[in-house]
Amino acid sequence: MTTHQIPLLIEPEQLKQQLEQQHDSLLVVDLGKPETYAKAHIPGAIHLDYPQIIAIQKPVMGLLPDENTLSQIFSSIGLTHDMHVIAYDDEGGGRAARLLWTLDAIGHKNASLLNGGIGAWYNEGHPTDTVPVEKTPSEYLATINDSPIADQQYILTHLNDSTVALLDSRSPEEYRGMKKFAARAGHIPGAVNLDWFNVMDQSRNMRLKPEAELRALMEERGFTEDKTVITYCQTHHRSALTYFVLKFLGYPKIKGYPGSWSDWGNNEDLPIEVE
């Protein structure tokens, strides 16, 4: 398996084989908590602090940083356009998936998610390191490509469009308006709820559920491959993982909503639904 054949969702055993081949074109990025990284990380993995890859304009959180900021961040970790990124975290894949969505948003082609993250890697006996890794900085030029991005205006324009479906990745309590983390509670009109926890398999070290189960979760909620599916949560952290799941399943038209409910729910002019 060369770096060109690395699957979108890579298993720990497959990554171990890749690392043994010592590919210069492989960049393993740890988005777990700094203290977790200090205790145990995959040998050669560089740590990237999650707040670096999001922008905040209070009360809106989880926005996409601008091109200049993204260029600086990716240059600082030594990323080049021909590298294959393997992302992982310590929380079920949300932070790692947000990095992968960000890479989609700048058109970086080669990137994968480590299934189960550091938990699966560690619990299944693969080697870890405690020494921080520093990469030689590169000159990475990030150019934002809008196709994986849905903003407020795009969603508003497509609210009554039967070819567009909204996937709300928050908890049922947030979706129904019972928990409020913005000026208003509820969900975007027409959105269907799929709690991000439902795509994880806790019995298999927080891997994603098997492909057939994931496909059933989507299809029974009306998320079919002929539709443009937009994922959102509170900030586009949890929904980055459901975006990744759709990508893994081969859905051709998928978008993530940076800012998500912190953007929509804090704007009094936008319509909402409460159950």
Catalytic residue positions, numbered: 233
* Tokens of residue 118, six digits: 């550091």
Do 259 and 236 form a contact (C-beta atoms < 8 A)? yes
Separation CA 137–CA 26 (nearest Å): 15
Contact between residue 9 and residue 117 where contact means Cβ atoms under 8 Å apart: no
Q: In this structure, what token pair is assigned to residue 193?
A: 């709820």
Structure tokens at 230: 């937009």
In residues, how long is the chain?
Answer: 275
* Phi/psi-derived region of residue 242, left when phi > 0, alpha when psi is between -120 and 50, beta in every other case: alpha
Cα 1 to Cα 7, 10, 16, 18, 79, distances in angstroms: 9, 11, 12, 8, 21
